């Protein structure tokens, strides 16, 4: 039997190239917790702004919990920050958030022309550097999961809540913004891959079928996700997409972009999700609050086994959304153990 490293095992599973021995234990959503901060002595919010600290805390999810991958970063605001959106700093228990928006018309995009994705004054470059640090130290054996906000949610960060009305009333404008954010996403994803990311996790929380419906999803999301997927596949990098909320009826449409795996949250039944997709793997979907954070090792183990049954070998057991920072390490270890115990 082939001997797999965590890196070759995850690649084989996501690319569906061969049947492997057992399930990889990974998390495609954020992994920072207070337990990990205390274990490695690196804390939020500082860890969001310093490459070495970011890398150190990200690696702790592997060394302390046992996740068989390292994922960078912890938040999805550096992309909006890159374009000058106001950011509220996070705290020890909370990620930073976007508080204002900078684009009201296509003219507002003009000042960004010729932007440098590696601009060292931006936090995106801190994240790129953190990816390089973890890739250099762990990348031979472990998957390095690069991550970023998806182009639709970035468009919403740039334009504000009017975005949802804009796509329905100003199609040309909406599509032009999507072109812009997708071009940025591709450049940023490629830069992450240049620095050692071998798997891409796209977090596009508001690109939700339940928010915009199938017609608008097909027009404003699928073609743009498809471009990003194509760019990643050209570099042999599989793409996992996470969208929040009840995505059940949207899964078949989400898959049209060629996404390799779809991370679903606890509002979706994993067995139903598996039945809705043709090829994409389903990743999920332990409730980060009502299971992973607020129950017990026994309850997490039981719920993990239930999700494994629902996935029926066609997915990966993982948190349904970003791990809540107060989640105990013991609970996450319990989930990891159940994932690793699943033989294909
Ligand atoms: Zn989510």
Residue range 266-298, pLDDT digits in tens: 999 999 999 999 999 999 999 999 999 999 999
pLDDT digits (tens, 9 = 90+) for 75-91: 999 999 999 999 999 99
Å from CA of 242 to ligand 1 middle: 6
Q: How far apart are CA 18 and CA 231, in angstroms?
A: 23
Note the pTM of the prediction, 2 decimals. 0.97
Å from CA of 25 to ligand 1 middle: 18
pLDDT digits (tens, 9 = 90+) for 178-230: 999 999 999 999 999 999 999 999 999 999 888 899 999 999 999 999 999 99
Q: How far apart are CA 45 and CA 325, in angstroms?
A: 12
Q: How far apart are CA 38 and CA 32, in angstroms?
A: 11
pLDDT digits (tens, 9 = 90+) for 291-341: 999 999 999 999 999 999 999 999 999 999 999 999 999 999 999 999 999
Q: Kindly report the average pLDDT of the chain as a whole number.
A: 97
Q: Does 13 score more than 80 pLDDT?
A: yes
The answer to whether the CB of 21 falls within 8 A of the CB of 9 is yes
Provide the pLDDT for residue 1.
61
Å from CA of 322 to ligand 1 middle: 6
Q: How far apart are CA 85 and CA 316, in angstroms?
A: 35
Q: How far apart are CA 265 and CA 322, in angstroms?
A: 9
For residue 286, give the DSSP letter.
Answer: E
pLDDT > 90 in the chain, percent: 98
Provide the pLDDT for residue 293.
98
Half-sphere exposure (Cβ direction) of 94: Cα atoms closer than 13 Å:
8
Å from CA of 80 to ligand 1 middle: 18
Q: Does 2 score more than 90 pLDDT?
A: no
The answer to whether the CB of 92 falls within 8 A of the CB of 33 is no
Q: How far apart are CA 7 and CA 69, in angstroms?
A: 8
Q: How far apart are CA 314 and CA 212, in angstroms?
A: 27
Å from CA of 113 to ligand 1 middle: 31
Specify which residues 148 forms β-bridges with.
Answer: 202
Provide the pLDDT for residue 204.
97
- Rounded mean pLDDT of 10-34? 97
Å from CA of 111 to ligand 1 middle: 32
**C-alpha distances out from residue 235 to 72, 190, 200, 239, Å:** 19, 9, 11, 11
Å from CA of 244 to ligand 1 middle: 4
Residues bordering ligand 1, an ion, CB closer than 5 Å: 244, 265, 321
Backbone φ and ψ for 149, nearest 5 degrees, come out as -70, 150
What residues have CB less than 8 Å from 98, skipping those under 6 apart? 77, 80, 81, 85, 86, 87, 88, 157
Å from CA of 33 to ligand 1 middle: 16
CATH level 3 topology of 6-341 = TIM Barrel (3.20.20)
Provide the pLDDT for residue 57.
98
Collapsing DSSP to helix, strand or coil, 341 comes out as: helix
Residue found under tokens 């629902």: 310
In the chain, where the domains are located: 6-341
pLDDT digits (tens, 9 = 90+) for 228-250: 999 999 999 999 999 999 999 99
Å from CA of 131 to ligand 1 middle: 22
Å from CA of 107 to ligand 1 middle: 32
């Amino acid at each position: 039997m082939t001997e797999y490293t965590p890196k070759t095992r995850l690649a084989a599973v996501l690319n569906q190239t061969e049947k492997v021995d057992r399930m990889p234990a990974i998390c495609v959503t954020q992994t920072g917790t207070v337990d990990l901060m205390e274990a490695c002595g690196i804390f939020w919010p500082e860890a969001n702004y310093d490459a070495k600290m970011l890398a150190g805390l990200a690696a702790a999810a592997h060394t302390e919990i046992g996740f068989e991958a390292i994922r960078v970063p912890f938040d999805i605001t550096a992309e909006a920050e890159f374009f000058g959106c106001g950011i509220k700093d996070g705290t020890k228990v909370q990620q930073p958030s976007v508080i204002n928006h900078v684009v009201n018309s296509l003219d507002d995009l003009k000042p960004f022309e010729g932007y440098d994705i590696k601009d060292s004054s931006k936090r995106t470059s801190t994240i790129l550097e953190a990816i390089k640090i973890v890739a250099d130290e762990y990348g031979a054996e472990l998957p390095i999961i690069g991550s970023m906000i998806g182009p639709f949610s970035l468009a919403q960060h740039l334009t504000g809540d009017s975005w949802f009305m804009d796509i329905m009333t100003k199609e040309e404008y909406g599509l032009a913004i999507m072109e812009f954010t997708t071009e940025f996403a591709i450049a940023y994803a490629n830069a992450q891959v240049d620095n050692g990311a071998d798997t891409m996790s796209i977090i596009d929380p508001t690109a939700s079928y339940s928010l915009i419906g199938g017609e608008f999803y097909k027009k404003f999301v699928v073609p743009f996700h498809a471009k990003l997927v194509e760019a990643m596949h050209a570099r042999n990098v599989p793409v996992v997409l996470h969208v929040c909320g009840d995505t059940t009826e949207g899964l078949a449409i989400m898959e049209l972009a060629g996404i390799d795996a779809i991370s679903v949250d606890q509002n979706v039944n994993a067995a139903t999700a598996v039945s809705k997709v043709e090829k994409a793997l389903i990743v999920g979907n332990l409730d980060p609050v009502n299971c992973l954070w607020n129950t017990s090792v026994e309850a997490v183990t039981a719920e993990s086994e239930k999700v494994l049954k629902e996935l029926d070998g066609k997915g990966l057991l993982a948190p349904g959304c970003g791990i809540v920072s107060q989640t105990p390490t013991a609970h996450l270890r319990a989930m990891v153990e159940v994932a690793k115990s699943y033989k294909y």
